[in-house]
């Protein structure tokens, strides 16, 4: 059999085999490049010092509790404000001169990145609600470039805010139930999914954590 005859005989097989190889390589590539899902955080999987003793045993179905607070425009903000939204939460106070300015700058960076993304919002809770009145939050929001439709700075009942921090967001080492000057203070940023579950913890003072947070937002969006 001549080479030309041999080539003609096996030409169809060669084409089929080549296509099959391409398909297999593509499938393997896609499998290897699938992003792993973000974990769902429950109290039992978080450091005990960050979790109120009443819920430390909880191993599943942990979600952010209902809440009702007031934002920088005097509007009521509840869990329904964030219904079907991915959001980033933190705890701050406007007169803080240590970690809060860094955290707020990083929140501003996140705001820039999600500005045209209707699925993602931000929520910052004041831990000194008596000081951080609506007027004070409004002033702070203007100074820091807060865009109202993307980012709520909220004040309200101190007990509710502190319970949210400790029992919902699992974000602080103290419940702040001492005298009026005893307050929680945490650098944690929390990534919350559309089902009100915690999907990530990040150090809000560290640029590399902010980059990771932005990447995880995209991963969470792919999951939704």
Beta bridge partners of 69: 77
Binding-site annotation, residues for Cu cation? 96, 100, 185
Binding-site annotation, residues? 96, 100, 185
Cα distances (Å, whole numbers) of residue 148 to 73, 80, 99, 189, 219: 8, 16, 23, 19, 25
Beta bridge partners of 201: 190
Q: What SS3 string covers 104-152?
A: HHHHHHHHHHHCCCCCEEEEEEECCCCCCCHHHHHHHHHHHCCCCCCEE
């Amino acid at each position: 059999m001549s080479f030309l005859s041999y080539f003609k005989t096996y030409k169809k097989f060669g084409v089929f085999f080549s296509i099959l190889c391409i398909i297999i390589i593509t499938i393997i590539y896609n499998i290897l490049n699938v992003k792993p899902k973000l974990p769902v955080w429950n109290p039992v999987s978080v450091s005990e010092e960050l979790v109120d003793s009443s819920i430390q045993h909880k191993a599943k179905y942990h979600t952010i509790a209902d809440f009702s607070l007031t934002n920088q425009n005097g509007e009521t903000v509840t869990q329904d404000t964030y219904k079907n939204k991915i959001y980033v939460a933190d705890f701050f106070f406007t007169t803080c001169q240590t970690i809060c300015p860094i955290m707020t700058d990083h929140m501003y960076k996140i705001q820039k990145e999600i500005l045209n993304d209707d699925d993602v919002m931000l929520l910052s809770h004041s831990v000194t609600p008596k000081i951080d009145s609506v007027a004070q939050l409004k002033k702070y929001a203007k100074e820091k470039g807060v865009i109202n439709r993307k980012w709520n700075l909220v004040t309200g009942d101190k007990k509710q805010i502190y319970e949210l921090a400790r029992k919902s967001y699992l974000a602080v080492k103290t419940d702040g139930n001492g005298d009026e000057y005893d307050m929680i203070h945490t650098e944690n940023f929390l990534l919350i999914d559309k089902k009100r579950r915690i999907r990530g913890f990040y150090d809000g003072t560290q640029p590399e954590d902010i980059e990771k947070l932005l990447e995880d937002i995209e991963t969470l969006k792919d999951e939704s």
